Amino acid sequence: MPRSSQEVHEPKTNQTMRLTRKSKVIFANESIEKEFLELGDNNETKKYIQRALEDLKQNAFSGIQIPKKIIPKIYVQKYKVTNLWKYDLPDGWRLVYSITAPNKIKIISIILEWFSHQDYERRFNY
């Protein structure tokens, strides 16, 4: 039983609020999409990526945002990204994407690449 009415109405401060926004998912370019499509239908990595794509369609913010100061320059130079997110796939694989809202209404998740944990560490100089 609460000791005062204040205890009943105070919000929990240890909860983090997460954005949930549906998005359209696209590949950054044709070669990335082609690489994905060429993975065999029974390829485990393709299945993991397909699950990630479905999750991103339901919520563009389902990944983990990468701090701006550690975004690899290649993404800024090649894709002009201003934000970067990673989606952890099973077996240590990572999918890297960016989010844009060209008309401030529709959200688009842009798949930049996916790679093993080792290649991810190399890309981010860990």
Instruction: Please report, for the chain, the start and end positions of each structural domain, with discontinuous segments joined by +.
Output: 20-123
Q: Give the HSE-up count for residue 85: Cα atoms under 13 Å, Cβ half-sphere.
A: 19
The answer as to CATH 3.30.2090.10 being correct for domain 20-123 is: no
Q: In this predicted model, what pLDDT tens digit does every residue of 25-74 receive, in sequence order?
A: 999 999 999 999 999 999 999 999 999 999 999 999 999 999 999 999 99
- Residues 6+ positions from 124 with CB-CB distance below 8 Å: 66, 70, 72
Which amino acid makes up residue 57?
K
Of 8 and 99, the one with more pLDDT = 99
**Rounded Cα distance, 54 and 49, in Å:** 9
- % of the chain beyond a pLDDT of 70: 86
Task: Check if the beta carbon of residue 36 is closer than 8 Å to that of residue 51.
Answer: no
Average pLDDT over every residue of 97-113? 94
* pLDDT reported for residue 48: 97
